[in-house]
Amino acid sequence: MLSKSYCPGDGALLGFRSRLGPHGRATCFFRPVSLSRASPRPSSAVAATPGKACVRLCFNLHCSLPRADLSRSVVPSADGTRGFRCSFPGWYSLRHAVDSPLREQEQQTVTSASRDLARALPLVLVLSLVGTQPEDLKAAESPPVKFPLQVSENNRYLVDADNKPFLVTGDTAWSLIAQLSEQEAIEYLDDRKKRGFNCIIVSLIERRFADKAPATIAGVKPFLKDGDFTQPSSKYFDHAARVIAAAGERGISVWLCPAYLGWGGGDEGWFREVKAAGPRALRSYGKFVGRRFKDHANIVWMPGGDYIMPPEERWAGQELALGIREGGGRQLMTAHGGQTSAVETFGEQDWLAIDNVYRYDPDIWRFYRQAYRQRPVRPFVLIETAYEGEHHATPDRIRRQAWWAVLNGACGQFFGNNPIWYFDAVGHSYVDRKAAPTWRKALDLAGSRDMSRLGAFFQQHPWHRLVPDLDDKLVSDGGGSDVTKVATARTSDGTLALLYVPSKGKEVRELTLDLSRFAGPVRGRWFNPAQDRAAIALPALLTNARGQTVRTPGDNGTGTSDWALVLEVATKE
């Protein structure tokens, strides 16, 4: 459902909704017929503003569709409510509210409002629509979830406690517990929930990346004696529990690193203290956190942290994991390596339920395919790659590494942003501090919007039924390589395929498709992964045969040309 609205000078009160059948694109033109005063009346569609004059706009509606041209006059609805109703059986239904409150200075004459409306009509009332196609929606909050998360029956993805497929749409918030107050943490969580993020990566205890590390912003340390894992501070972990609970209340899973080890085992993390404390102390700490957080069903445990441990040091993760289990923690577990997968970091472990990909390679899709082929089968997630605001990562790179992940069999992906991951902690930026935005401003940068859009897109398709096309059978020519590699996945019943076509600057890309596995003729539409725009339908049905050619629409509005393509078996009217 696509909605557009306009009110001259006083907010958006002209509501527009459309519903089209599967035949694709309609272009509708609204030609004003008359403009007159109207008394505001109550309406369930649009609330009138008390004490304000209104105008009533009458217009003709002209629509063109692929199979027919329609031109109908819009008439008042029969039910007497404020607005107009127009319907074309089998095509769409329309309800347009037209009572619009005027600003106080506009109440003297209708003419002044007429001028405003006339200026707005070319922009607002000449609309290109693609009816109820779900990818026309702006990203919305994630669907309700019941924790704890579990592994699906086929070991390929995650499900919630009601066995509903759960697609990881994650953000990276390493310093959330240590750097933010509880009120600030809730502010962050509310924003992520609103944008459809349903998972976050968080350090339970922070060694370096917080203003008062290892203490919280309020000065509360995690241990009664520095570095002594056998003397945890209940006050600190109570604070952590409240933040984790707040995430759960918002449907957000916390992928919790109990003791981040630090890059190379250095001073960024806790490895030196862990090694000095020894296995027994670490097992004790694991038991404590397992017991303390066993009732927080929204946790996924994540031992490790940016360190590729030699086999003789793997106890640093193993003792934590086993201690958590002994303490009663039954939540799923993964692990965080040092640009290695969880299995590569810790080997085959009974507690290791979720594998992952952690690489910064520009052609990271190769590692997704490797993870999908791994045996025994585990769900895997993109746990970390290039962050927005670091390593010269462009917006289209941020998009493609995420889209590649899901279409190559991942059960979701985590996005990262600098400075969100450390929440403006002083002295820890990897970019020019003067040029970096604050974490609050960064919440609305392109990366967050693009990931939100990606999550909403896949939620509207049976993503859990997709099988990645690892042998590149669907795209027989034009599939690219390296950073231009096209990612494809399809359902086994031959009814749906999804493709992501990376950018080549502003260049239009031509793909030759083998659609012979589809169960019938195929309709397609292009989805813009970079902007909230209506989908663009292919001009004609494609034959379910080899040698079918499509061309990307070109620049997606950002100076790049990445697009997603939805291919579905055409349904009969």
φ, ψ at 201 (rounded to 5°): -95, 130
What is the strand order of the sheet 380-384 is part of? 299-301, 253-257, 199-203, 168-172, 412-415, 380-384, 355-358
pLDDT tens digits for the chain (573 residues)? Answer: 233 333 333 332 233 333 333 333 344 444 444 444 444 433 333 333 334 344 444 444 444 333 333 333 333 333 333 333 333 333 222 333 333 333 333 333 333 333 443 343 333 333 333 333 444 445 567 778 999 999 999 999 999 999 999 999 999 999 999 999 999 999 999 999 999 999 999 999 999 999 999 999 999 999 999 999 999 999 999 999 999 999 999 999 999 999 999 998 888 999 999 999 999 999 999 999 999 999 999 999 999 999 988 889 999 889 999 999 999 999 999 999 999 999 999 999 999 999 999 999 999 999 999 999 999 999 999 999 999 999 899 999 999 999 999 999 999 999 999 999 999 998 666 555 555 689 999 999 999 999 999 999 999 999 999 999 999 999 999 999 999 999 999 999 999 999 999 999 889 999 999 999 999 999 999 999 999 999 999 999 999 999 999 999 999 999 999 999 999 999 865
In three-state secondary structure terms, 37 is strand
The length of the chain, given as a count of residues:
573
Annotated domain spans of the chain: 3-132, 165-425, 469-569
User: Chain-centre distance of CA 499, in angstroms?
Assistant: 17
177, 160, 179, 178: which is closest to 168 by C-alpha?
A: 160
Letter for the amino acid at 510?
A: E
User: Could you tell me if 175 and 148 are in contact, meaning their C-beta atoms sit under 8 angstroms apart?
Assistant: no
Please give the Cα distance from 366 to 477 (Å, whole number): 19
Q: Count the neighbouring beta carbons within 10 Å of the beta carbon of residue 481.
A: 8
The whole-model pTM stands at: 0.78
Furthest CA-CA distance within the chain: 84
User: Could you tell me if 509 and 552 are in contact, meaning their C-beta atoms sit under 8 angstroms apart?
Assistant: yes
Looking at CATH, the fold of the domain delimited by 165-425 is given as TIM Barrel (3.20.20)
Per CATH, domain 469-569 is 2.30.30: no
- What are the E-state strand segments in 438-562? 466-468, 475-477, 487-491, 496-501, 510-513, 522-527, 536-537, 548-551
Please give the Cα distance from 171 to 422 (Å, whole number): 12
Cα dihedral value 150, 151, 153, 155, nearest 10: 180
Q: Which residues contact 158 (CB under 8 A, 6 or more apart)?
A: 149, 150, 151, 152, 165, 166, 168, 332, 354, 379, 411, 412
In the numeric block, which tokens belong to residue 151?
Answer: 């592994």
Through-space distance between the first and last CA atoms of the chain, rounded to whole angstroms: 19
In three-state secondary structure terms, 105 is helix
Rg of the chain on CA atoms, in Å: 27
| 165-425 and 469-569 in the same fold | no
Q: Which residue has the tokens 């993964």?
A: 334
